[in-house]
Amino acid sequence: MALALLSAAAVRERAREMLEVGSSGSLANFRIEPKRLAPTADFVAGVIRNGYPDLCVPLHARWRHFVFGGRNLWSETVREARWRNAASRARAEFDLAIVSVLLDAGVDPTWRYRDAATGLEVGRSEGLALASLRMFQAGLFSADAADPLRADAERLADLSEEMLRKAFDVNEHNPMLGLDGRAQLLTQLGHVMLANPQIFAKHDRARPGGLFDHLADLVKGQALPAPSILHEVLVHLGAIWPDRLSLAGIPLGDCWRHHAIRRDDATDGLVPLHKLSQWLSYSLIEPLRGAGIEVNELDGLTGLAEYRNGGLFIDMGVIVPSDPAQIAQPHAVGSELVVEWRALTVALIDHLAGLVRQTLGIGPREFPLGSLLEGGTWTAGRKIAAQMRPDGRPPLKIISDGTTF
């Protein structure tokens, strides 16, 4: 029963139920304006055309955030690396993607990373990505000084908040909320991997890249459905999440309670969203394909329940607060207001996808949901936020613990 919640299908099913309740006017915190979906689709389609005139949009993955001004810093690293084979490279890319995504759970809009090598000064997700890449290149996560481009469980388990503080250049003039939560995620990741060598240490010391070997063994030359990547991530990394719900001893990760979602079993009221784990799953597709493993069923994953996608729907008037005064107040991640908003976001992205594809004249095979997220909703959410508010903040204030978004 608990394992059923560790899936993209459960996220989509319960998000759709939340939208049905919202469309009937029965949610306490938001109402839905379906007439605003078409203008939103037009806005998103315009953003896509502007950014990708050929409509060849890559998946929404961490790899996009390593590109600055047309310069792909990870590709430059790859050219200098000396991996034995494609599997060795894939393990390193799994190491980087998993650690980097876990470090990117939202950040103060004022925080900046100053990169000595390029002279860049970057904030938000791109700044977190660049900082994590530099940490990886410097061997911060490696237990082998001769092999810096790796992350080892023993090293992650001993990682301190102070080490991250220094690496992120955090100080009183450059604050970062949730730094302790990020450090805790990485140390928990290290402990989980050390405790599960059968998954993470099949061909090497325990490391995030061991998940590549596990997935490769599962498919044995067959295509790997994208939802299966998510399931394995949730099952084998679920214990890293702090202070979260569990069911029958199984940690549920990014899963919360809302009274509108009813079941006649122990999952009553539970709303899985799995934002970071799904973004991580999208980010693992390219390393898998690079190692010769076909990944299919990309639209089996869902849209991401995060502040740019969700902010787009609020700013465009699709999701309307029942009490506008609530928008000005900070809300905990587990509050019913935030759970409603995030679930509605997931369901509405599915509806938006069809409208945007129709507007662009392109099908789901050429333009999967991950491409809509990358070229469209995430970018459009940031763009409309900048138009609506001088500092570009999302419309809803979330009390971040550094482990959700």
Q: What is the pLDDT of residue 21?
A: 98
CA distances from 40 to 138, 293, 395 (A): 43, 36, 16
Each residue's pLDDT tens digit, 217-269: 999 889 999 999 999 999 999 999 878 899 999 999 999 999 999 999 999 99
Q: What is the pLDDT of residue 405?
A: 65
Q: What is the pLDDT of residue 327?
A: 86
Each residue's pLDDT tens digit, 43-60: 999 999 999 999 999 999
Other Cβ atoms within 10 Å of 173 Cβ, number: 8
Cα 392 from Cα 405, distance rounded (Å): 17
CA distances from 1 to 9, 237, 246, 250 (A): 13, 18, 11, 10
Choose among 44, 87, 193, 69: nearest CA to 126. Answer: 69
Each residue's pLDDT tens digit, 152-208: 999 999 999 999 999 999 999 999 988 998 999 999 999 999 999 999 999 999 999
pTM of the full structure: 0.96
Q: What is the pLDDT of residue 220?
A: 85
pLDDT (average), residues 262-286:
97
Q: pLDDT tier at 369 (50, 70, 90 boundaries)?
A: very high
Q: How many CA atoms lie within 13 A of 203 on its CB side?
A: 15
pLDDT (average), residues 368-392:
96
Q: pLDDT tier at 151 (50, 70, 90 boundaries)?
A: very high
Give the strand pairing for 255-257 and 270-272. Answer: antiparallel
pLDDT (average), residues 368-393:
95
Give the strand pairing for 67-68 and 30-32. Answer: unpaired
Average confidence score pLDDT of the chain: 95
Q: What is the pLDDT of residue 402?
A: 67
Each residue's pLDDT tens digit, 79-93: 999 899 999 999 999
Helix (H, G, I), strand (E, B) or coil at 284: helix
pLDDT at residue 403 is higher than 80: no
CA distances from 315 to 108, 371, 389 (A): 20, 21, 10
Helices (H) and strands (E) in the chain, counts: 16, 14
